[in-house]
Amino acid sequence: MPKIKDLLRQLAANPSPTATCEQSYQGLTKDQISALASRGCPTYTGKVRDVVAVGDELLIVHSDRLTAFDKLIGMVPYKGTILTAISEFWLEEAKKVVPTHLLSRPHERVLRTQKAVPFKVEVIVRGYLAGSMLRAYTAGERLFCGEQLPEGLKAHDRLPRPIITPTTKAAAFEHDENTSPAELIAAGVVTQAEWSDISGLALRLFAHGQQVFARVGWLLVDTKYEFGRTKDGTITVIDEIHTPDSSRLWTAATYATRVASGEGPEMLDKEIVRRYLLAQGFKGEGPVPVVPAKTLVELAEVYLRVAETLIGRPLSSEAGSQDIPILDLC
């Protein structure tokens, strides 16, 4: 089976939009979706993944779609396979600390999971001042999603303790809005008791994630979790965890010196694409600029580095951009 590293090296040697697109997997086809529907297996098309309900289980199909600022940006070759491997690693690893929905991985791009009724909240845990919270802090805000932030923090500083800054969970391609635990409870999204369980699970997961990333020299800066209730009533972590699509990751070794010099930390997530888009004046509104094939391949290489470092062996891809034999899996 060809190593993804070699496949990406070939693309990087002569990056062209046609080649990167042809080697990318777009997601389930319309024909597959209608065949699934006629078998009684409804499909939900998310931003990045297509989810097929099969009885009490879900098949989560990872496409190579890349989103940023809640918009579809382009195709990143092999990203789906790489993300499936990272999600599988973490959902298995996290079983040491919390229940997770993972059952198995029947295909390089597919995870079989236990269906849950999702809580309509994105549970964001932050260990550092970064991203939208940094922008709000710089603008003078000190109360962020119900959390009182201390005075005197500088950009990219570690917070005194990890905090939870929830957002609402909007439909695919709509923007999530900041909220607070009090608002979520008042709106009936979660009960007080559910929030206390969910926030406890989120902080345990985050502490464990930070420990495991620390072993490979990375900082888990912030991340997003989703939780759901399974048929037997258990609150379990669902979706993906600690992937570069759902988290910020920085290099630990250079963190202190780079932050002190004002350069900002070295990032191992989709920041290279976000920066390219911002440089083109794109912040999520209006037409999406075309991201060069070279940048998309570079991003695939970043994701691969994260996956192979965590998993400890090279990843291969047999299926490439071929359609997934989804009907055989359900």
Tokens of residue 196, six digits: 């206390």
Q: Which of 7, 8, 91, 116 binds ligand ADP (CB under 6 A)?
A: 116
Which residue stretch of 15-23, 48-56, 212-220, 312-320 sits at the interface with ligand ADP (rule: CB under 6 A)? 48-56
Q: How many residues does the chain have?
A: 330
Tokens of residue 175, six digits: 């923007």
Question: How do strand 65-68 and strand 57-62 relate by DSSP bridges?
Answer: unpaired
Min CB(44)–ligand ADP separation in Å: 6
Question: How do strand 158-164 and strand 121-128 relate by DSSP bridges?
Answer: antiparallel
Min CB(236)–ligand ADP separation in Å: 7
Asked if 146 and 180 touch (Cβ cutoff 8 Å), the reply is yes
Min CB(70)–ligand ADP separation in Å: 9
Q: How far is CA 24 from CA 17, 85, 138, 215, in A?
A: 11, 16, 39, 32
Query: Is residue 42 close enough to count as binding ligand ADP by CB under 6 A?
Result: no
The whole-angstrom separation of Cα 230 and Cα 263 is 45
Asked if 56 and 103 touch (Cβ cutoff 8 Å), the reply is no
Question: Tokens 């993944």 correspond to what residue?
Answer: 49
Q: Which of 36, 48, 85, 273 binds ligand ADP (CB under 6 A)?
A: 48
Min CB(267)–ligand ADP separation in Å: 21
How many residues touch ligand ADP under the rule CB under 6 A: the total is 17
Q: What is the dihedral of CA 256, 155, 277, 24, to 10 degrees?
A: 50
Closest-approach residue to ligand ADP (CB):
46
Min CB(161)–ligand ADP separation in Å: 27
Residue ranges in 210-249 that form contacts with ligand ADP under rule CB under 6 A = 226, 228, 238-239
Q: Which of 172, 182, 187, 311 binds ligand ADP (CB under 6 A)?
A: 172
Query: Is residue 51 close enough to count as binding ligand ADP by CB under 6 A?
Result: yes
Min CB(47)–ligand ADP separation in Å: 3
Q: What is the dihedral of CA 264, 265, 268, 270, to 10 degrees?
A: -20
Min CB(153)–ligand ADP separation in Å: 30
Residue placing its CB nearer to ligand ADP in the complex, 46 or 289: 46
Residue placing its CB nearer to ligand ADP in the complex, 239 or 301: 239
The whole-angstrom separation of Cα 106 and Cα 92 is 15
Query: Is residue 99 close enough to count as binding ligand ADP by CB under 6 A?
Result: no
Residue placing its CB nearer to ligand ADP in the complex, 184 or 219: 184
Pick from 73, 116, 11: nearest CA to 284: 73
Which residue stretch of 12-20, 113-121, 156-164, 320-328 sits at the interface with ligand ADP (rule: CB under 6 A)? 113-121
Which residue type does 79 have?
K
> H or E element: which one contains 224?
strand 218-230
Residues that bind ligand ADP (CB under 6 A): 46-49, 51, 58, 101, 113-116, 118, 172, 226, 228, 238-239
